[in-house]
Structure 1
Amino acid sequence: MRALVKTSAGPGLTAMTCPDPAAGPTDVIVKVTATSLCGTDAHIYNWDPWAHSRIHPPRIIGHEMCGEVVEIGRDVTRVKIGDYVAAESHITCGQCFQCRTGQAHVCRNYRILGVDRDGSFAEYIALPDNVLWNTSSSIPPEFASVQEPLGNAVDAALAEDLTGHTVLITGCGPTGLFSAAVARTAGAATIIATDVSDYRLGLAKQVGADYILNAKTETPAQIAAAIREITAGEGVDASLEMSGHPSALHQAFGAVKNGGRVTLFGIPTGPISFDLANEIIFKGIRVHGITGRRLFSTWYRLAGLFKAGLNIKPIVTHTFPMSDYARGFELINSGQCGKVVLFP
């Protein structure tokens, strides 16, 4: 099969022919229909310090995908040949405290597709049957392939109910944009989005943001004043921090009203200093740290959101054949895209 492989410690990927994967007793072989690019893939492609410390070439990368089951192991009963599936990228151990108490999303021993085992940037992929998600045939492949990162947004946005609430989203990368779409479908009253890119703020507007504020052209004080005006001085009910940038983190905590909640998904590049007393404790703020998706409750909720009319079409901005993968990574590095999807 053809696949994109991180063959050595350095930037880039290599398109090459690899052996077809084999199915173990509880594995399935999926013919990949579509696979989308993630920020994690960009880290590996660019070969930054995180990738250098985490990836051990050779490795077929990629973890967001959908496809058709073409072969099943002898003990597989959950799916059948011909099923249209997506996949949870975190393969959990099922044995640790977290797995056994309903917290498998923070399994102590999880392995990640495209990081710890070969991934989806290929014509075929072998997957444990317990990570497969049967997907409605009504969902086009370019949308079905992004259900995994969509789950991040569902978990971030709906960590608490936000129906009728005012929501601030700081950071309009793909997951931030997905969060805006989820919040709109879930009944948020007012959505405010901030980013440093007019392009991505335009996408936020298309998926439901009522107000957009550019953190590159407006100072933190100006943004804070605008949020106070929008909320009649009350502050927002919930802040979804999706960027990891220090100023955005402080903005998220500063904008939320007393007794509100802050969801943290963006990853800072280093330690962040906070005035815990005044920014969190005295305001009585609830803080949710988000990693991955809740398995598999978030997937079920996402299926319901699609039925309720969740609109992610504006966020999937580019599709390419897999042979043009370099164009996709160039777009991600430039920031002039939403979600990029490859077709093998």
Structure 2
Amino acid sequence: MKALVKERAEPGLWLTDVPEPELGPGEVKIRVLRTGICGTDLHIRKFDDWARHTLELPLVVGHEFSGHVVEVAPGVEDISVGDLVSGEGHLVCGKCRNCMAGRRHLCRNTVGLGVNRNGAFAEFVTLPASNVWVHRVPVHPDIAALFDPFGNAVHTALSFPLVGEDVLITGAGPIGLMAAAVATHVGARNVMITDVSDERLDLAGKLGVSLAVNVSRSSIAEGMRQLHLREGFDVGLEMSGNPTAVRDMLASMTHGGKIAMLGLPAEEFAVDWSTVVTSMITIKGVYGREMYETWYNMSVLLEKGLDLSPVITDRFSYRDFDAAFETAAGGRTGKVILDWSDASSSGETGGEPAGATTNRSA
């Protein structure tokens, strides 16, 4: 089968033929239809310091995907051949204290799809049945491929009550955009999002935010004045990992404000802990998704009309992966999708979400 592989310890990815994965006990085999390019995939392609110390090569990369089930192992229940599915890319041990207590998202022994085991940028992928999410309500394969990053957005956004609250989101990448859509959808009073990319801030406008601020030209304080906020934001969703954004968020919270942090900083930086203490600010670190409460939340949000289609801006054939990765690395787009449907015999092509740009080689 065709797969995108990190073959060598150097920058780049290679489209090559590899053996199809064999179905193991308790597993499900999936014919991949769509995949999404994640920041983790960009790190792997670049082969930065994190990738050099994390990966064992060769490795089939990718963890954001949707596809149709083609085979299930004996004893697997509630999953059938033909089901449209997404996958939870964090594989847990099931034996540690947190796993045994039902807190699987806190497993200390988590294995990452496309990082610690062969991933989904391929014609076929296998996963334990417990990591397979069946879409019981109709959903487009493009949107189904977003369930991993959408889960990050939902986990972060729903960390604290949002109804009637004023929400600040720092970072308008794809996950920040989806978090903005969630916050607006569930009843936040004001949702302000910041970034330095006009293109991404324009996308935020399509998702219904109250105000999108380019902090290279304006400030959070000016945005607060435009929204007539006198006491600061009630909830902060930090999606950038940028030290300046974190500091500005802390300075913009009301007393008793709550911050959920998903953005991963590249290095340590100083924080004004006196403000955290004297303003009695709660800070929660967020990683991945709650298994599987977040997945239920995602499905219900879509069922109740949440529209993520504006987040998808570019769509490529898997054969044009280099152009797709360059587009994603540019930091000016929403989500970039790779289409694998013509690599399989399923014949499923689906439609394109409204507003998406289709890029194909001649």
| TM-score above 0.5 | yes
Q: 1:233 aligns with which of 230, 234, 253?
A: 230
Distance across 2 between alignment mates of 1:246 and 1:252: 10
Distance across 1 between alignment mates of 2:167 and 2:294: 20
Q: Could you tell me which residue of structure 2 aligns to residue 284 of structure 1?
A: 280
* Aligned residues of 2:169 and 2:176 also touching (Cα < 8 A): yes
Q: Could you tell me which residue of structure 2 aligns to residue 269 of structure 1?
A: 266
Q: CA deviation at 1:229?
A: 4.8
Other structure's SS at 2:328 match: helix
Amino acid in structure 2 at the alignment position of 1:71:
E
Distance across 2 between alignment mates of 1:141 and 1:105: 25
Other structure's SS at 1:70 match: strand
Other structure's SS at 1:253 match: helix
TM-score (norm 2): 0.92
Structure 2 spans left out of the alignment, 5+ residues: 341-362
Amino acid in structure 2 at the alignment position of 1:307:
E
Q: CA deviation at 1:228?
A: 4.5
What are the residue-to-residue correspondences of 1:96-245 with 2, within 5 Å?
Answer: 96-136=96-136, 138-218=138-218, 222-245=219-242
Q: Could you tell me which residue of structure 1 aligns to residue 310 of structure 2?
A: 314
Amino acid in structure 1 at the alignment position of 2:85:
V
Q: 1:248 aligns with which of 245, 248, 259?
A: 245
Distance across 2 between alignment mates of 1:163 and 1:137: 26
* Aligned residues of 2:220 and 2:252 also touching (Cα < 8 A): no
Q: CA deviation at 1:78?
A: 3.2
* CA 177–189 in structure 1, closer or farther in 2 if over 3 Å, else same: same
Amino acid in structure 2 at the alignment position of 1:77:
E
* CA 62–34 in structure 1, closer or farther in 2 if over 3 Å, else same: same
Q: CA deviation at 1:48?
A: 1.1
Q: CA deviation at 1:213?
A: 1.0
Distance across 1 between alignment mates of 2:7 and 2:193: 39
Q: CA deviation at 1:100?
A: 1.7
Runs of 4+ in 1 over 3 A off after TM superposition: none
Other structure's SS at 1:310 match: coil
The Cα offsets for residues 247-284 of structure 1, whole Å up to 9 and x where unpaired, read as 1001111111001101111011111211212x211111
Q: 2:329 aligns with which of 316, 321, 333?
A: 333
Amino acid in structure 1 at the alignment position of 2:168:
L
Distance across 2 between alignment mates of 1:312 and 1:136: 18
* Aligned residues of 1:185 and 1:308 also touching (Cα < 8 A): no
User: Structure 1 residue 50 and structure 2 residue 73: aligned?
Assistant: no
* Aligned residues of 2:211 and 2:223 also touching (Cα < 8 A): no
Distance across 2 between alignment mates of 1:55 and 1:215: 35
The Cα offsets for residues 174-219 of structure 1, whole Å up to 9 and x where unpaired, read as 110010011111111111010010011001111121111111223x
Amino acid in structure 2 at the alignment position of 1:242:
M
* CA 32–137 in structure 1, closer or farther in 2 if over 3 Å, else same: farther
Distance across 1 between alignment mates of 2:229 and 2:28: 55
Q: CA deviation at 1:300?
A: 0.3
Distance across 2 between alignment mates of 1:90 and 1:156: 17
Distance across 2 between alignment mates of 1:10 and 1:58: 11
Distance across 2 between alignment mates of 1:24 and 1:191: 45
Distance across 1 between alignment mates of 2:211 and 2:278: 28
TM-score (norm 1): 0.96
Distance across 2 between alignment mates of 1:177 and 1:232: 22
Distance across 1 between alignment mates of 2:280 and 2:226: 22
Identity of aligned residues (%): 40
Structure 1 spans left out of the alignment, 5+ residues: none
Amino acid in structure 2 at the alignment position of 1:268:
P
The Cα offsets for residues 210-245 of structure 1, whole Å up to 9 and x where unpaired, read as 111111223xxx432432452431111101110010
Amino acid in structure 1 at the alignment position of 2:261:
L
Other structure's SS at 1:168 match: strand
* Aligned residues of 1:201 and 1:212 also touching (Cα < 8 A): yes
* Aligned residues of 2:318 and 2:338 also touching (Cα < 8 A): yes
Amino acid in structure 1 at the alignment position of 2:278:
F
Other structure's SS at 1:71 match: strand
Distance across 1 between alignment mates of 2:123 and 2:136: 21
Amino acid in structure 2 at the alignment position of 1:309:
G
What are the residue-to-residue correspondences of 1:51-70 with 2, within 5 Å?
Answer: 51-70=51-70
Q: CA deviation at 1:81?
A: 1.2
Q: Could you tell me which residue of structure 2 aligns to residue 19 of structure 1?
A: 19
